[in-house]
C-alpha cells in the first residue's frame, strides 16, 4: 500500500479514481461513491470542470452566497461571495445594510499599472550597459508589436521599460522592469508573453554588441503597488447610533483605537487583515480571479513600510467618523475562467457586467465591509456571539441531527451561550 505510481497523468479518469480508492481506502467502494456524488450530472459541464486543472477526480464544492444592499458610489449592488467560513456573508450583508442609510460606500480606482520583470546578470561596466539599454529600448516595443496589437486597440499595452541596477542586493544582478496596462483582463499571459520577448531581444542584441548578459528568468509580479483602489465610509459621529451603539462617540473612539492597534502590532494586524481578505477573497473567487495572487500582493503591500500593518485606517475629524482602506488589486473581467465557468459568468451578471476597474471597487468595498463588521463586534458585543450562532449549524450537521433534534437544539441555544462543548453536551443528553 501507498506505493509510487508511474504514468499517473496518462491514466483515464476512471483509472485514476480506482487507483486512489484502492490505494488509500479500506472500503474503496465508499470512497468511489463520495467522489461520484460530487460529479455534475451534466456530462458536458463536468468535462468542462475536469479540464480546468490536471488529474481531476471530482469537484470540491464551496458555497456561493450573495450579500445584498451594498450602495457603492450611489448605486445598489448585490455581491456574490464564494467562501466556506460561517458568518462572512452575514457580516458583509449587515455592514451593507448599516452603511446604505449612512451615505453608502465610496470607491475610487487610483491607478491600474501592472508590473513584469526580466531578471538577468551582467559582469561589466554598468555605464556601458545603461548606454546599451537606452539604444535598444525602442526595439523592445517594436519586437512585441504582434503581441501588443490587440491590447493597444483596447487602450492598453506596455507603458514603459526601465533598467534597474540591483547589485546592492546580489552580485551582477540587473532587471528590466516593465509596466503595463491590461484594461479589463488580468493580463498575466499578455505580460509574460511580452517579457519573454523582451528576454529574447535582450539576449540577441547583447550578443550583437559583445556584451555578456545571462537572462535568469522572465515573469510578471503579483506585487502591484501602483494598481490601487480605495474604499471608504464616513458619516457624522451621531449617525453611528444603532441597537449595539447607544453611545456613538464612545464607539467611534474605541473603533479608531482598535484600528490603531492593528497599525502598530503585527500579531493583531495579521488577524485584522485576514478579516479584510475574507471579503476580498470571496468576491475574487466568485468572479473567477486568482485569489492567491491577490493575497500575495495585498500582504506584501501591508509590509511596504518595513513592518506588517493594518490595511485599513480610521479617524475622527471635525465630528466626522471616516473608515477606509487602500489595497492593490490586479483583477480581470474578460479571459480565463470569466468566459468559461458558468457560475463565474452568472456572478458577473449579478454584478451587472463590471469593468475591471468597477470590479476592483466592488472587491475593495467587500473587504472594508467585512472589516467594519468584525471591528464593530470586537468593540461592542465581542466576536464570538455572532460567529457561534452561525457556527451552530456546522456543529448540528457534524452530529447528523434529525429535524426534531435540530429544532430542540436551536430553541435551546436562542437563550443560552453557544460553545462547541455546550452544543455537544446538549446533543448527547438529548439522545440519552
Q: Which residues have a catalytic role annotated? A: 85, 274, 290, 387
335, 186 Cβ separation under 8 angstroms: yes
Three-class SS state of 75:
strand
- Cβ atoms of 403 and 267 within 8 Å: the answer is no
Residue 167 sits at the vertex; the CA angle it makes with 162 and 169, to the nearest 5 degrees, is 105
Dmax of the chain from CA atoms? 86
DSSP 138-182: HHHHHHTHHHHHHHHHTT-EEEEEEEEE-TTTSTTEEEEEEEEE-
CB 172 within 8 A of CB 85: no
Torsion of CA 410, 411, 414, 420, to 10 degrees: -40
User: Could you tell me if 380 and 245 are in contact, meaning their C-beta atoms sit under 8 angstroms apart?
Assistant: yes
User: What is d(CA 414, CA 408) in angstroms, rounded to the nearest whole number?
Assistant: 10
Long-range contacts of 200-205 (CB under 8 A, 24+ apart): 200/143, 201/136, 201/139, 201/140, 201/143, 202/118, 202/120, 202/136, 202/176, 205/132, 205/136, 205/139
d(CA 198, CA 325): 35
Amino acid at each position: 500500500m501507498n506505493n509510487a505510481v508511474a504514468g499517473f497523468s496518462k491514466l483515464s479518469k476512471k483509472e485514476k479514481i480506482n487507483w486512489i480508492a484502492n490505494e488509500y481506502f479500506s472500503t474503496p467502494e465508499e470512497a468511489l461513491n463520495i467522489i461520484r456524488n460530487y460529479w455534475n450530472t451534466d456530462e458536458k459541464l463536468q468535462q468542462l470542470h475536469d479540464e480546468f486543472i490536471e488529474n481531476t477526480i471530482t469537484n470540491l464544492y464551496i458555497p456561493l452566497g450573495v450579500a445584498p444592499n451594498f450602495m457603492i458610489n450611489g448605486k445598489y449592488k448585490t455581491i456574490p461571495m464564494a467562501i466556506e467560513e460561517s458568518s462572512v456573508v452575514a457580516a458583509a450583508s449587515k455592514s451593507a445594510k448599516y452603511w446604505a442609510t449612512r451615505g453608502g460606500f465610496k470607491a475610487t480606482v487610483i491607478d491600474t499599472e501592472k508590473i513584469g520583470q526580466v531578471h538577468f546578470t551582467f559582469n561589466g561596466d554598468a555605464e556601458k550597459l545603461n548606454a546599451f539599454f537606452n539604444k535598444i529600448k525602442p526595439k523592445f516595443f517594436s519586437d512585441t508589436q504582434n503581441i501588443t496589437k490587440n491590447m493597444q486597440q483596447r487602450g492598453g499595452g506596455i507603458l514603459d521599460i526601465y533598467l534597474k541596477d540591483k547589485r546592492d542586493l546580489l552580485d551582477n544582478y540587473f532587471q528590466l522592469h516593465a509596466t503595463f496596462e491590461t484594461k479589463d483582463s488580468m493580463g498575466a499571459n499578455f505580460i509574460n508573453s511580452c517579457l519573454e520577448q523582451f528576454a529574447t531581444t535582450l539576449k540577441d542584441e547583447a550578443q550583437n554588441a559583445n556584451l555578456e548578459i545571462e537572462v535568469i528568468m522572465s515573469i510578471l509580479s503579483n506585487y502591484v503597488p501602483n494598481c490601487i483602489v480605495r474604499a471608504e465610509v464616513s458619516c457624522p459621529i451621531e449617525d453611528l447610533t444603532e441597537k449595539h451603539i447607544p453611545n456613538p462617540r464612545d464607539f467611534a473612539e474605541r473603533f479608531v483605537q482598535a484600528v490603531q492597534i492593528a497599525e502598530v502590532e503585527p500579531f493583531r494586524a495579521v488577524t485584522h487583515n485576514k478579516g479584510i481578505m475574507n471579503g476580498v477573497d470571496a468576491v475574487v473567487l466568485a468572479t473567477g480571479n486568482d485569489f492567491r495572487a491577490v493575497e500575495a500582493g495585498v500582504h506584501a503591500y501591508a509590509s511596504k513600510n518595513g513592518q506588517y500593518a493594518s490595511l485599513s485606517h480610521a479617524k475622527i475629524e471635525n465630528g466626522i467618523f471616516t473608515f477606509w482602506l487602500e489595497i492593490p488589486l490586479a483583477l480581470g473581467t474578460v479571459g480565463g475562467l470569466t468566459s468559461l465557468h458558468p457560475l463565474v459568468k452568472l456572478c458577473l451578471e449579478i454584478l451587472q457586467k463590471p469593468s475591471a476597474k468597477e470590479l476592483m471597487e466592488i472587491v475593495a468595498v467587500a473587504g472594508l465591509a467585512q472589516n467594519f463588521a468584525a471591528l464593530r463586534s470586537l468593540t461592542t458585543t465581542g466576536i464570538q456571539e455572532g460567529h457561534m450562532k452561525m457556527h451552530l449549524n456546522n456543529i448540528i450537521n457534524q452530529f447528523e441531527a434529525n429535524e426534531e433534534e435540530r429544532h430542540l437544539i436551536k430553541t435551546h441555544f436562542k437563550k443560552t451561550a453557544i460553545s462547541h462543548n455546550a452544543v455537544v453536551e446538549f446533543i448527547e443528553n438529548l439522545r440519552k
